[in-house]
Amino acid sequence: MLDLLFYIFASLTVVPAFLMVTSRSPVTAAMFMIASLVGMACLFVMMDAFFLAILQVLVYAGAVMVLFLFIIMLLDMDEGEDLRTRAIPSMAAMVLGGLILVTILGFFSGKFDDQFPEIQEPAALKLDGSQTLPEVYEKHLPLPYSTKAKTFGYGLFTKYMLPFQVTGVLLLIAMVGVIVLSKRTTDESEGGSAT
């Protein structure tokens, strides 16, 4: 049953991803990308990572792709544009992608065969008086392998605080950059308020 579901969701992820690259109409490509993202969210659900799955749909399918579609429709791109691929860049991309795939497969093959850690919920952790989340952190134990949203939040604000803050600063820089670029100062010709 689970295997069958995996194959269904995996093909839901891979086939639209392929069609997205090959389709000529930008809107169709965007729709295939949404389908692919939703398929990936389904794969996350199969791995009990509900929180990641929901974030995948919420952020990518729900917000980023809406903006993509918005831009595509606003600019009214035609499918007549010549999108012929050039030989050298596509070859380079193929070789690089293949190398990355081989590396990942070589690195992970046989590594996780029978040793998936057991899922521990914070509620279960609390039963043993010494093992609440803050105490797990203070004793430098590994964070519990759990599906609860709370565990993600706890990890982000304790063990992974620095990466979290660095990411936040990066996003802030990106935001400021966009504002600066879009608010380009106009040459004060007529009225001067055209932005």
**Residues of this chain that bind other proteins (CB under 8 A):** 1, 27, 31, 34, 50-51, 54-55, 57-58, 61-63, 66-67, 69-70, 73-74, 122-123, 126, 132, 147-150
Measured from the CB of residue 36, what is the shortest distance to other proteins in angstroms? 14
Nearer to other proteins, 94 or 149 (CB): 149
Nearer to other proteins, 109 or 193 (CB): 193
Rounded to whole angstroms, how far apart are CA atoms 110 and 128? Answer: 33
Nearer to other proteins, 61 or 136 (CB): 61
Measured from the CB of residue 73, what is the shortest distance to other proteins in angstroms? 6
Residue 56 · residue 37 · CB < 8 Å? yes
Measured from the CB of residue 69, what is the shortest distance to other proteins in angstroms? 6
Rounded to whole angstroms, how far apart are CA atoms 22 and 16? Answer: 10
Which DSSP letter does residue 128 get?
S
> In sequence order, what are the residues at sequence separation of 6 or more whose Cβ sits closer than 8 angstroms to the Cβ of residue 96?
none
Rounded to whole angstroms, how far apart are CA atoms 37 and 83? Answer: 23
